[in-house]
Amino acid sequence: MALALMAAGMHGVLSSPPKLTDAADTFDRSLADIMERIRAENAKVMADHPDAYATIAVLLPMSGDAAETGLGLDSIRHALQGAHLAQLWRNADPSAAPYIRLLVGSITSDEWEDTVEELEGRVDSERIAAVTGLGNSVDATKRVIGRLSQAKIAMVAAVITSDELQGHEALVRVAPLNSDQAEAAVRFAERAVPALKPVTVTDTNSRDSYSKSLSESFENTLASVVVAKHRSRPLTFDSSVKSAGTVIGNIADKICDSDANTVFYAARSRYLPTLLQGLSRSRRCVERGMTVIAGDDASEISNPVKDPRWTDSGGKIRLYRTALAHGANVSDPDSSVLDAIKARFGAKDTKGYARLFGAETLDDGHAIMHHDALYLATKAIDQYAKDLDELGPEEVAAMLRSGTVSVDGASGRIEIGHDGNSLKREVPILRLDPYGNTSFAEWASPRPATRR
């Protein structure tokens, strides 16, 4: 009996579910629908084109724990929807070979190592040509990038923006860097706020490259635009300690006691409502008005809620954020996105995002950015379509960095420099209200403004 139980236990270990999968029941229930859509398209590819497909691994922190990874389940779902949308449109093209199959893997802090190890071992058997997604600029993502770079596996990051995550030869990014977003945000603030008097609020958590990089970019850009006497001393908190919320409350009081009229928030969105609540409770801040400008991570609070996250006091406490992409990219007649790409997100075609996913929002930008990441990866894969024997992740990485691969994506035209970064382009500036509703403010350029 003991031996039988031991054997059964060993069988359970040996037959544990794969880390790379398209099974609908692997992750949270809210992801089951999109995973089933991916599985169905994969099955069609394998049945119709068994010798003419390539696999792209979509790696994301699938737990949806926004406190740890910066990505909630809504963002994860939208990311997978965007990747699947690109897969569908690619595979519907009569000249699509190699056809695209997707596998999904989790890269949370306690899963990334097993997922990457399995991916490395399945490159040949699964015909893995590239990795997309990769989550946010957090410590686990940094480790994944380092490991896959050593293995020379092509990576197309969808929403990684930290300037620190550079120098990896197998990595390219479709999102604008934090330095580009900071320049665009400051340029917007110069127009939106008369007599700009800024202060930065920064998370010093050493495990979060995003916050550090965005803070440095805000400070450097502001120093070139606003004279020192009009800039308040930077304020900081550490999100890794339990007292972070209390410190944020003190920071709000400090800001309202100063003459600052604009806060540049360089941190994850978790504590942003706390800061806004603190500002809205101060008569001094409300009377003079306060503009808060955050980075793209504030997309995590762009989902509508019943109860307001803060009191905006009749528009006196205003929140703006930079965005990697927004619904305006594919709906605004003035956007530079091609009509053919806009159609992918509309409702006229049965493969359109609005037809497939109904009431899902594009406001957080994840569907658009992950669509573009997969779209770019397939463009690089296409270069080997005539000789699939040459196709492998190392070859795709070399092609992505060659300066010859570019796409007109849903976030705009994407051109990759020799350093793997997306070349500068306009950044959407969005306004968020206390109920999580998003409205488009303007397109801002990352070009430096003039000193004032």
Q: Is residue 86 part of a domain?
A: yes
Pair 307, 371 in one domain:
no
Domain count, the chain: 2
Q: Is residue 111 part of a domain?
A: yes
Q: Among 141, 34, 297, 180, which residue's Cα sits nearest to residue 155? A: 141
Contacting residues for 433 by C-beta, under 8 A, at least 6 apart: 312, 319, 439
Q: Say which CATH number the domain at 363 has.
A: 3.40.50.2300
Q: In this predicted model, what pLDDT tens digit does every residue of 366-394 receive, in sequence order?
A: 999 999 999 999 999 988 866 767 788 99
Pair 159, 192 in one domain:
no
Asked if residues 255 and 281 have their Cβ atoms less than 8 Å apart, the reply is no
Q: In this predicted model, what pLDDT tens digit does every residue of 56-95 receive, in sequence order?
A: 999 999 988 877 887 889 999 999 999 999 999 999 987 8
What is d(CA 449, CA 42) in angstroms, rounded to the nearest whole number? 48
Q: Is residue 166 part of a domain?
A: yes
Q: Is residue 407 part of a domain?
A: yes
Predicted pLDDT of residue 8? 46
Per-residue pLDDT, averaged over 149-159, amounts to 96
To the nearest whole number, what is the mean pLDDT of the chain? 90
Pair 290, 350 in one domain:
no
Per-residue pLDDT, averaged over 188-201, amounts to 93
Pair 316, 336 in one domain:
no
What's the domain range around 157? 2-176+331-415
Label residue 5 by pLDDT band (50, 70, 90): very low
Total-model pTM: 0.88
